[in-house]
Structure formats: C-alpha cells, structure tokens
Amino acid sequence: MPRREIFAGNWKMYKTLHEALDLVKGVLAGTSDIGGREVVVFPPSPWAKPVADLCRGTKISVGAQNMYFEREGAFTGEVSPLMVRDAGCRFILVGHSERRHVFGETDDNVNKKVAAAFQNDIEPMICVGELLEERERGLTGAVLKRQVEKALDGVSGDQMKKVVIAYEPVWAIGTGKVATPEMADEAHRHIRRIVKDRYGAGTAAALPVLYGGSVKPDNIAGLYAMENIDGVLVGGASLKADSFLDIIRVK
C-alpha cells in the first residue's frame, strides 16, 4: 500500500496577515496539478482562520503550530483545541523542537496534546528529534524511542491512522546543516520499528514519516528518494511560494 506523501510548511513566527495571505495564494496557484501529494501549511495562530478560509476546497490543509491541551479555562495566552478546530485547522503540530527547547515542553505535555487533538478531531503531526550532543553520544535511537513511545501513550491503533510523525534533528533546524538522506532514512526506519513493536507491521508500514531540518529546493530530491521519507516539514524554505513549490513539485 503506498503511503501518504505530505509536504508541510511551518511558518513559525513569521509573516504579517497581508504577507500570510499572499504566501498561501502563491502556493495555491502552483498546487492544482500535484496529484495525490498533500500540502499542509502551519501559519501563526492569528492567521489560521483567514488562511483556512482561503484554502477551503483546495489541495492545501491548514494546521496550528501549537495549542494547550485543556478545552477551555483561565489559561491566559493559550489557544484551545476547540479554537484550533473552529478556526478551520485539520492538523496540529505537537512537540516541535522549538516548543521543547525554547519553551520547555515535556514528553508528558506532548502526550496530553496528542490526546486533546484526538478528542477534538484534529490530526497530530508529532515532531521528534535529537540534539547534536545526543547524536554525538550515540543516543539518537534512545531519544527517538522515548519521544515516540511517550507521545503515543494511550493512542489506539485506529487513531494511528491519523498520526503523522516528523523527524527533525534539532541540530539541522534553521542551521543549514541538513541530515544526509541516509541518516534521515535510518532514523525514519527506527521510528517505524518503534511503531511496529507497539501497533504491528501494517500500521508501521502505513505511517507517514516526514523529515524536517534545512530542507531546501536543492536538497529535496535526495531526501525524497529514500524509501522511508514520505515527505517533509519545511521551515525557512516554506516562507516563499516559489521555493516551497519547488520542494512540493520534486520529481
């Protein structure tokens, strides 16, 4: 069974409203003939609804970059799963390395957000990845195992059909240092093995695993050619329609 192919753009904390709408219009203009490839954009929260309004009925889905796990309450500054859903978002990014390492998000937090996503009919794109120091100490496999297992705690086999995992080695994010296709493929294979041990071969084989970290038009082809790389989660190069489209349209 062929796996889903997903090209996602994480806009992080960039773009005014006007710029966000221009960007998504530019991406929409180039995605009418991309076949079965799925495109997802993650705008900053205040722009989720206007961007989702533009994307309704098109090939582009919209996701939020973060949310809190409670449905509502006195949590000043937070955005709830209900709000994310109401804004027209299909996806939620969970456990991005900037959330983990700049804002101190824990594996437990990530797990609660995954559960909250399912309770609110939102599909989680779960980010995992090791620090440079962890890779150098040979801990990559153990870190991925801990992050994946903890994130998926309590997730049913049926819910796994809606899970996307993004492998984003922290040392490759925003640094221009891309993992080699072989390194990324090996990490993706490891993630699939972890999922297989818990959910079985069928679920593991169907799981889309995306690579993220300095993906650019000039390195996408090598990454995308790998057996276990089912798409990408792009930061910087998704901020311009042309470069994001060059990535989406990789041969």
Give the total residue count for the chain: 251
**The token pair that represents 177 in the structure block:** 């240092």
At its nearest, how many Å lie between ligand 13P and the CB of residue 243?
10
Which residue, 238, 206, 205, is CA-closest to 220? 238
Exposed/middle/buried for 82, CB within 10 Å: 0-12, 13-18, 19+?
middle
C-beta of 174 vs 200, nearer to ligand 13P? 174
CB 11, CB 45: distance < 8 Å: no
234 counts as binding ligand 13P under rule CB under 6 A:
yes
C-beta of 164 vs 199, nearer to ligand 13P? 164
At its nearest, how many Å lie between ligand 13P and the CB of residue 97?
7
Give the CA dihedral 49, 92, 70, 118, nearest 10 degrees: 120
C-beta of 89 vs 173, nearer to ligand 13P? 173
- Rounded to the nearest angstrom, the gap between the alpha carbon of residue 242 and the centroid of all alpha carbons in its chain is 20
Residue 154 CA to residue 181 CA, distance in Å, equals 32
63 counts as binding ligand 13P under rule CB under 6 A:
no
C-beta of 5 vs 168, nearer to ligand 13P? 168
Residue 207 CA to residue 198 CA, distance in Å, equals 13
What does the per-residue mask of binding to ligand 13P show for 168-207, with x meaning CB under 6 A? x----xx---------------------------------
List the interface residues with ligand 13P, window 203-232 (CB under 6 A).
Answer: 212-215
At its nearest, how many Å lie between ligand 13P and the CB of residue 153?
23
Residue 41 CA to residue 237 CA, distance in Å, equals 12
Which residue, 37, 38, 86, 97, is CA-closest to 64? 86
40 counts as binding ligand 13P under rule CB under 6 A:
no
Catalytic residue among 38, 96, 98, 188: 96
Cβ atoms within 10 Å of 2's Cβ, excluding its own: 7
10 counts as binding ligand 13P under rule CB under 6 A:
yes
- Which range binds ligand 13P by CB under 6 A, 74-82, 182-190, 219-227, 233-241? 233-241
6 counts as binding ligand 13P under rule CB under 6 A:
no
Residue where the block lists tokens 């072989």: 182
Catalytic residue among 123, 130, 134, 168: 168
Residues with active-site annotation? 96, 168
| Residues that bind ligand 13P in the complex, under the rule CB under 6 A | 10, 96, 168, 173-174, 212-215, 233-237
